[in-house]
Amino acid sequence: MENPFKFGTIVEAEYFTDRVKEVKYIRQFVASANHLVMISPRRFGKSSLVAKAVKESGRKHITLNLQQVMSVTDFAGKLLREFFKVRPLERVRHLLSHFRIIPSVTMNPMSGAMEVTFQPGLDGGTLLEDALMLLERANTEQDRLIVILDEFQEIRDIAPKLDRQLRAIMQAQKHINYILLGSQESMMADIFENKKSPFYHFGELMRLGKLPRLDFFNYLSTRLAGVFPENNDAIANRILDYTGCHPYYAQQLAATTWQFGVLQPGTKDAVQAAIDQIVKSHGLDYERLWMGFNRTNRWVLKQLATGGALQSVEHRTSTVYSALKRLQKAGYVIYSDRYELEDPFYRQWILDEQD
Ligand SMILES: Nc1ncnc2c1ncn2[C@@H]1O[C@H](COP(=O)(O)OP(=O)(O)OP(=O)(O)O)[C@@H](O)[C@H]1O
Ligand SMILES: [Mg+2]
């Protein structure tokens, strides 16, 4: 029997639930000439959602994760490589003659993909501009290409002033819809909402929340029924309570619980056994993380884990607040309707350490 839950990768088809409104919205959105910016904490389902919406739209699209881009030259090369996957090189070969510096395009015999390389030492900016111009020229206003740039906040790390240059190029394009995704909320907000940033008001800002409880409940409960026919509803509710409806952690806990049900059917409390196993398997990482936090951070994390007040005589409000902001920026703390620990299993580990 195959595990009906999936976590850690892009989910689609039967592993994807809800987001009906969002899918519709994105499909409508890319039908206009505008660009979309999507922000959410890590692993809320941005990549999966956009992949689904774009696939359903039937439009040509390419995706690039900026975390995997090493330099501006690499950016240009990867954009072209992805583009040649949706548009055969033969059809756009003539456009390569517009390049100020002609790249070499070779076929990777293993993957069949076209690899694009440039002579070393060239100005990355020129290459990127030429690459983006090729994308523009190879498409039309009636048949726009969708370019998805994931982990877009990385733009600031790839090279200084790259954001300014990129914006200048994109501004002149009419044959591309950009969808820019990012998970570091404060950086993304700074890129798109700070008046001084080149990307200020570049596109419509969409913030993705957790999955709605009822739909997620049905998704979990139906799939749990095969292994836990008597208490599938109760288990689904417990998983959602424990993970606060976090898409990734709920799927992870459901997958592990399901596995206990199949492999050790006698387990009295499969959810608890799953929690214990997940916490234990991350124990070393959690410990290392903890050692790296200063005292204020540790105190704040403990308060969030236990639900304690974030005020005390020993900790000044301003210090606590800046610790919270730092922890949020680093992704350990998220804010939806209140501040909470991002990882419910880390929360458990912290609670267990208190005993
Ligand atoms: N619509 C959904 N239905 C069911 N599970 C989902 C859904 N969206 C996300 N998930 C769960 O969350 C996990 C993370 O999804 P995804 O990789 O799309 O998120 P992300 O926001 O792009 O994450 P990252 O910040 O790591 O880029 C998936 O592997 C899956 O377990
Ligand atoms: Mg993603």
Dump the DSSP string for 261-278: HHH-TT-S-HHHHHHHHH
The one-digit pLDDT tens for each residue of the chain (355 residues) are: 899 999 999 999 999 999 999 999 999 999 999 999 999 999 999 999 999 999 999 999 999 999 999 999 999 999 999 999 999 888 888 888 888 888 888 988 888 888 888 888 888 999 999 999 999 999 999 999 999 999 999 999 999 999 999 999 999 999 999 999 998 888 899 999 999 999 999 999 999 999 999 999 999 999 999 999 999 999 999 999 999 999 999 999 999 999 999 999 989 999 999 999 999 999 999 999 999 999 999 999 999 999 999 888 888 899 999 999 999 988 999 987 789 999 999 999 999 987 6
Q: Which two tokens stand for residue 45?
A: 């389902």
Q: Residue 16 CA: which ligand 1 atom is closest?
A: 3
Q: What is the pLDDT of residue 240?
A: 97
Distance in Å, CA 297 to ligand 1 centroid: 28
Whether 78 is in the pocket of ligand 1, judged by its Cβ within 6 Å, is: no
Output the residue whose Cα is nearest ligand 1's atom 12: 248
Ligand closest to 48 (CA) is 1
Q: What is the pLDDT of residue 178?
A: 97
Pocket test for ligand 1, best of 5, 17, 44 (most atoms within 8 A of CB): 44
Q: Which of 147, 155, 158, 76 has its CA nearest to residue 117?
A: 76
Pocket test for ligand 1, best of 24, 50, 240, 248 (most atoms within 8 A of CB): 248
Distance in Å, CA 178 to ligand 2 centroid: 16
User: Are 130 and 118 a contacting pair, CB within 8 Å?
Assistant: no
Whether 315 is in the pocket of ligand 1, judged by its Cβ within 6 Å, is: no
Q: What is the pLDDT of residue 233?
A: 98
Pocket test for ligand 1, best of 43, 49, 154, 243 (most atoms within 8 A of CB): 43
Read out DSSP for 276-331?
HHHHHHTHHHHHHHHHHS-HHHHHHHHHHHHT--S--SSS-HHHHHHHHHHHHHTT
Output the residue whose Cα is nearest ligand 1's atom 17: 10
Whether 249 is in the pocket of ligand 1, judged by its Cβ within 6 Å, is: no
Whether 210 is in the pocket of ligand 1, judged by its Cβ within 6 Å, is: no
Q: Which two tokens stand for residue 40?
A: 């959410």
Question: Which pLDDT tens digit goes with each residue over 299-353?
Answer: 999 999 999 998 888 888 999 999 999 999 889 999 877 899 999 999 999 999 8
pTM for the structure as a whole: 0.91
Distance in Å, CA 118 to ligand 1 centroid: 35
How crowded is the C-beta side of 311, counted as CA atoms within 13 Å?
Answer: 1
User: Are 7 and 253 a contacting pair, CB within 8 Å?
Assistant: no
Q: Which two tokens stand for residue 289?
A: 């993380």
Ligand closest to 211 (CA) is 1
Q: What is the pLDDT of residue 246?
A: 94
Q: What is the pLDDT of residue 111?
A: 83
How crowded is the C-beta side of 347, counted as CA atoms within 13 Å?
Answer: 20
Q: What is the pLDDT of residue 346?
A: 98
Whether 216 is in the pocket of ligand 1, judged by its Cβ within 6 Å, is: no
Distance in Å, CA 124 to ligand 1 centroid: 33
